[in-house]
Amino acid sequence: MASKKILVTGGTGYIGSHTVVELIQAGFEVLIIDNLSNSREDVLSGFFQITRTKPGFFCFDLCDRDATRKFFRNQKVDAVIHFAALKAVGDSVKNPLLYYHNNLVSLINTVDGCLHSGVNNFVFSSSCTVYGQPDKLPVDENAALKKAESPYGNTKKISEDIIRDATGVAKFNAVSLRYFNPVGAHPSALIGEYPIGKPTNLMPVITQTAIGKNKQLEIFGNDYSTPDGTCIRDYIHVKDVADAHVIAVKRLLEQNNKSAFEVFNLGTGKGISVMEMVNEFVSQTGIKLIYKITGRREGDVEKVYADIRKIKSETGWQAKYGLKEMIESSWKWEQALAKKNILSDV
C-alpha cells in the first residue's frame, strides 16, 4: 500500500489539505492539483513541517481539458480524491452559472482523465446539501434526494449522477462521501481553514470575530422551527473527515467495495444550532462575541444531521473528536494566523 500514488484535486484547500496530511502519514505518495483560487501555496510548507514530506504540486485549472489530459498522460496515479470545487452556498445562489461551470466541468475533465488513463479508483467530496431539507432526521443514505436548496448543492447532486453513470460504462469504482459541516484545524495549527476573502462558514466567522477581524457576527435568521430559532447542523472535525477519505481510498484499492458506486454519510449524528455553537465558543474561550440577527440566508436548510450507521458498520469509521476539540483547534489556528500576519507585517 505504501507505494500507491494518490492524486488529490483541491489539495491545498481546507479539507483537501488535511486529507493530504493523513494520506502521507498513512504511507501514500501524494500529488496535488489546485488552481489556488481559494487557497494558498504556502500550505505546502505546512505539509512539510507536519510530515517532513512535500507532495508534488501542479498549479492549473481542471476546467482546462487539455491541461487535465496532459497531466493524466504524464503522471501515473492509482486513485483520485476529488475536492476541487467552489463551495459557498450563498455565493452559489448569486453566481449559479459560475458554480455549474466550475464544479461540473472540472469534475467531467477529471473523470475523463481517469477513464482514459486507466485510473479506476475515485473518491468524491460530496455534501449533505444533496438531501435538501430532509423529511426525516437523522437522514440516511437511502433518503430521497429532494430539490437542492442552492446551485452548490445541485452541483453535488449532479456530480454524483455523473460519477454513478461513469461507473456503469467502465471498470471504474467510486465512493461518494456526503459530509455535513467540517470545522476545526490540525492540532499543530500549521494548516486550517484559510478562506480568501470573507468567510461564509460559521466557525471561521466566529473566530475572525473573536480575534477582531470582524466587528460582529451575523446570525442568519432566528425564526426557524428549532429550539432556539437558529439553523441546526451536524458539525464534524476536519481530521475525522480526512481520516474517512483515507479509509475510502483504501477500500477501493483493496477492492473491498460492495458496488461500483458507494455512498456514505460523514457526521457525528448530532445536531448543533448556530446559537449553541456561538455560546459554546464563548464558554470555552471566555471571549464575548458581538452578534446581530439578520434575515434568513437564501439557500440555507433549516436543520440537518446525519445517520452514520452505514459507514460505521461497513468500514468501522466514526468521529473521534467532539465540540471541544473542534472549537479548541479552530481558535488555536486563528491565533496562529494572527501571529503569522503580524510577523509578516514587521
Question: Known catalytic residues?
Answer: 152
> From its phi and psi, is residue 127 left (phi > 0), alpha (psi between -120 and 50) or beta?
beta
Phi/psi class of residue 286: alpha, beta or left (left: φ > 0; alpha: ψ in -120 to 50)? left
Please, what is the end-to-end C-alpha distance for the chain in angstroms? Answer: 45
What are the cell numbers at 203?
466557525
Alpha helices in the chain (DSSP H): 14-25, 43-51, 65-74, 89-94, 96-117, 151-167, 202-211, 238-253, 274-285, 309-315, 323-345
Which neighbouring-strand residues pair with 82? 9, 124
The count of C-alpha atoms lying within 13 angstroms of the C-alpha of 184, restricted to the half-sphere facing its C-beta, is: 24
| Element (DSSP H or E) covering residue 232 | strand 232-233
